[in-house]
Structure 1
């Protein structure tokens, strides 16, 4: 009888400890507030992230963990300008997205490759993967895909762009929308280019500027 009671108490104690550990793990995976770079035990943040920025530091079997942030991200990185000067997005080792940001991003530096963003963002530069919403970069934007309104001081480059691109130099492999700037270029597209110089290999739409060139003709002022 004593042996049975002991076994029952042991099982109850073990279950209680296991339940507490499980709750602790769940608590670690989802946070309301977290510092960046995010720790590997955090899968999701529903609230606020603040720190030096997102970084694919933690990997699993050679691949970065996929993490998600819903809310507000604040990057306070004093080395943002230096990071922009030395970072080459074409040589990025990150081939797959490692973080999904949904909400508002305010950064003194910017995104590197591997970050998807839905919402609004203001940063020094942007080398993210897919950007959807209203994205403003002080210097340059170089992304894989963009959908919405992209504004950048110096240049915007995207493999696929659906929406409005406003910058001194705009470049898109595939455009569905409008480019507004000093020099606009697209390989193929549908839409409108307004600038001093507009170039396209194959465009279904209108070019308005001092010099316009598409796959059919080259004309000043207006081309179609």
Structure 2
């Protein structure tokens, strides 16, 4: 009798272990269509529909294709943010390791992005990146303003481009980046070197 009970226990344990491994393998299998938040999706070769993953339960995803965000908060923020546009700083948000961020290789198209994200390609956001660590390598476009912790490439917005570490070109009515190398074109431009109207620049590293 004891032998049967022991045998059943061993078989049950093996079944649970296999089921756990199956879920893990399934989560790593690339999906053509996926949604976020999700516990069982890690890789997407196609389209990821995003809403908002809470930070405590956030599971980073790798997307080769299109990341689409439908958080309606992004429709209401632009008028409010115009009165308090500040560079996103490390003192505001914790620096997120790359392996713990979403990685989008292709196009990020969102009303607003509130998930820590590295975008390699083109980023188009109505309210840009709010309350999250954001890195863009490529081009960022917004009908209002762009907010980034790190930006390498071209950032274009009619009203403002605001960042912490920028390499490339900012084009907008107001441009500001504390650690900047490149060219700023706009009505008023600020970087760690100088403040200038119309055109501003800096191509040297700033002394710490």
Give the structure-1-normalised TM-score: 0.67
Question: For residue 183 of structure 2, what is the aligned residue in structure 1?
Answer: 178
Match of 1:75 among 69, 74, 81: 69
Question: For residue 102 of structure 1, what is the aligned residue in structure 2?
Answer: 104
After superposition, the CA RMSD in angstroms is: 3.5
Instruction: Give the deviation of 1:160 after TM superposition.
Output: 1.6
Question: For residue 126 of structure 1, what is the aligned residue in structure 2?
Answer: 128
Q: How many residues align?
A: 189
Partners of 1:164 and 1:58 in 2: how far apart?
31
Partners of 1:155 and 1:67 in 2: how far apart?
29
Match of 2:42 among 41, 44, 54: 44
Bigger strand share: 1
Higher Rg of the two aligned structures: 1
> Structure 1 residue 146 and structure 2 residue 116: aligned?
no
Q: Which runs of 5+ in 2 are unaligned?
A: none
Structure 1 residues 1-224: aligned runs within 5 Å: 11-12=10-11, 14-28=13-27, 32=31, 33-36=33-36, 38-39=37-38, 41-42=39-40, 44-47=42-45, 48-52=47-51, 54-55=52-53, 57-59=54-56, 65=58, 67-71=60-64, 72-86=66-80, 94-97=93-96, 99-103=101-105, 104-107=107-110, 109-112=111-114, 114-127=116-129, 128-188=133-193, 196-198=197-199, 203=202
Q: Which runs of 5+ in 1 are unaligned?
A: 206-224
Partners of 2:203 and 2:49 in 1: how far apart?
44
User: Does the aligned pair in 2 maintain the 1:42–1:67 contact within 8 Å?
Assistant: no
Q: What SS is found at the alignment partner of 2:144?
A: strand
Deviates more, 1:142-151 or 1:177-186: 177-186
